[in-house]
Structure 1
Amino acid sequence: MQISAKADYAVRALLELAADSERPLTCEAIASAQDIPYRFLKSVFQDMRKAGLVRSRRGCEGGYWLGRDADRISVAEVMAAVDGEFFTLRGLRPDALAYPGVAGGLPELWRSAEAAAYDVLGGTTIAALTKRGTVARRSSSAVPA
């Protein structure tokens, strides 16, 4: 399974928004904080806004906020919002596949892989990842005695 740069950038941008939800963040600030190409991130934000994952306001007081609580946004939902279908094989959903002969059992493997990936990514929220990142940052900045 390959995770697209678009999906990776989208999740990282949402983590920045979740970590600082008191004020709007600009696309420039998020791109800088996460070392993401600004122009690419702008297109990612367009997809996320269409999906209701973020909301925005123009102007000097503007920027982006989460579209809803971070504990109600799953990584799988983010991936689908920016990439389309969550899991495809040659552009087809695994439940639409059928192979002849000895390969007849292969679509079931692809469906199982999709289900396992969705269990992990669909069960992981932006809030949970933000918490993990905060704990990891504290652990790595702790000075040994």
Structure 2
Amino acid sequence: MQISARSDYALRALIATAGFSPDGGPVSATKLAEAQAIPLGFLHDIMSDLRRAGLLTSQRGTDGGYALARPPSQITVGDVLRAINGALSTVRGLPPDKVDYHGVASGLPELWMTLHEAIAEVVDRTTLADLLPVQYRTNA
């Protein structure tokens, strides 16, 4: 599994959102970009994807910014990765259950599905709250 820059930035931005605003209030994109060294234009695009996926809300204005749509304990890494990338894993651009091999390689799809399921198990049980440093977990 390869973790794209978009996925890495998305997770970092959401964790920072939770950490900066344990009460759930909005955090500016500028503050998130500076804190996590994410290019601001790229961050806006990522945050739009996360908002469309229902993981963030946004508020305009001087007190505006982004806020988590649900508590950090209810947003999994899998939610974020799927919002950014679609599928968790692919084989040559296909979902692992859609690849087909012949002859001696016919067992490979089972391996790809096992790997996909292992990845899904880890990312679907890991929440943003799990990734927050201990001092930020009280309200997660």
State the TM-score, normalizing by the size of structure 2.
0.91
Shift of 1:119: 1.0
TM superposition shift of 1:134: 3.2
Query: 1:18 offset after TM fit, Å?
Result: 1.1
Q: Is the 8 A contact 1:21 1:66 kept in 2?
A: no
- 1:1-145 map, 5 Å: 1-19=1-19, 20-22=21-23, 23-130=25-132, 133-134=133-134
Instruction: State how far apart, in whole Å, the 2-side matches of 1:93 and 1:39 are.
Output: 30
Matched pairs, number: 133
Q: 1:6-30: CA deviations, max 9, x gaps?
A: 0111111110111123331111100
SS in 2 for 1:88: coil
- Alignment deviations for residues 15-47 of structure 1 (CA, whole Å, 9 cap, x no partner): 011112333111110010011111111100010
Mean CA deviation greater in 84-93 or 60-69: 84-93
Deviations 1:81-137 (A, max 9, x none): 01111211122111111101111001111111111111111110001111xx236xx
Paired residue for 2:138? none
134 and 34 in structure 1: CA distance in 2 versus 1, 3 angstrom threshold: farther
Contact 2:88 2:119 in 1 (8 A): no
- Contact kept? 1:24, 1:64, Cα under 8 Å: yes
Which runs of at least 4 in structure 1 moved beyond 6 Å after TM superposition?
Answer: none
Matched to 1:10, the amino acid is A
Post-superposition shift, 1:77?
1.1
One-letter identity of the residue aligned with 2:36: Q
Which secondary structure does the structure 2 equivalent of 1:65 belong to? strand
Q: Percent identity?
A: 45
SS at match of 1:52: coil
**How far, CA to CA, are the matches of 1:112 and 1:16 in structure 2?**
32
* Cα RMSD (Å): 1.1
Kept in 2: contact 1:15–1:129 (CA 8 A): yes
The 1-side partners of 2:51 and 2:30 are apart by 16
Partner residue of 1:141? none
